[in-house]
Amino acid sequence: MNFRKAKISDFDSCMKLYENGREYMRLNGNVSQWVNGYPSDELVAQDIKEGGLYLCEDGEMPKAVFYLGFEHEPTYNLIYNGKWTNNRPYVVIHRIAVDNDSHRKGICSNCFDFALKEAKKRDILNIRIDTHKDNVPMQGTVLKYGFSYCGIIYIEDGSERLAYQFENLCSR
């Protein structure tokens, strides 16, 4: 797998992957997340422009898209019914979507490995991610990778998300 920052010329491929993500969620009982065209064209273009959107490719075929942020995530300031595993710096993964033909093939784990590698370059040993309570496939994926469930956060629109953190306590 190859990872690279998305370019504006990748916009259509990114949007196709996000459409695949919405479709996969609906087929797996998650009808509440990524509704009303989320993520929007504007948000995806902004993610590309700011350099936070990444593509995972097999050869030249895009297999996944995700946002990798090194900035503080304001919605993680307050966590309910739990706590973060630590308060050290972290990277955040948002809006991960996988090609329809690539589910259950380890693509998300490869994306997490890449995020961890990029974090280590900055001496950061934590990854945080959140997902909707109905996104059971993603919950299983993060737990299988080694993330710990930490509690509930609320995103900007007030909706609830399950929050997870991965601490790199060993060399991975």
Residue 170's pLDDT band (boundaries 50, 70, 90)?
Answer: low
Is 84 a residue whose pLDDT tops 60? yes
Residue 2's pLDDT band (boundaries 50, 70, 90)?
Answer: very high
CA atoms within 13 A on the CB side of 11: 12
Contacts of 123 (CB under 8 A, 6+ apart): 89
Which pLDDT does position 104 carry in this prediction?
78
Is 152 a residue whose pLDDT tops 90? yes
Strand 91-98 and strand 2-5: the pairing is unpaired
Other Cβ atoms closer than 10 A to 100 = 14
Domain membership flag for residue 172: no
For tokens 């737990």, the residue is 143
Find the mean pLDDT for residues 105-126. 94
Domain membership flag for residue 51: yes
Domain membership flag for residue 42: yes
7 DSSP 8-state letter: -
Query: With contact defined as beta carbons under 8 Å apart, do 43 and 120 qualify?
Result: no
Other Cβ atoms closer than 10 A to 6 = 23
Count: domains in the chain: 1
Which pLDDT does position 130 carry in this prediction?
98
Domain membership flag for residue 140: yes
Q: Give the residue numbers spanning the domain of 69.
A: 2-167
pTM above 0.75, yes or no: yes
Residue 100's pLDDT band (boundaries 50, 70, 90)?
Answer: confident
Per-residue pLDDT tens digits for 56-83: 999 989 999 999 999 999 999 999 999 9
50 DSSP 8-state letter: T
Tell me the residue type at 37: G
Find the mean pLDDT for residues 122-145. 96
Query: And the tokens for 100?
Result: 């329809």
Domain membership flag for residue 99: yes
Which pLDDT does position 169 carry in this prediction?
62
| DSSP string covering 54-98 | EEEEETTEEEEEEEEE-S--GGGS--BSS--S--S--EEEEEEEE
CATH of the domain at 46: 3.40.630.30
Domain membership flag for residue 135: yes
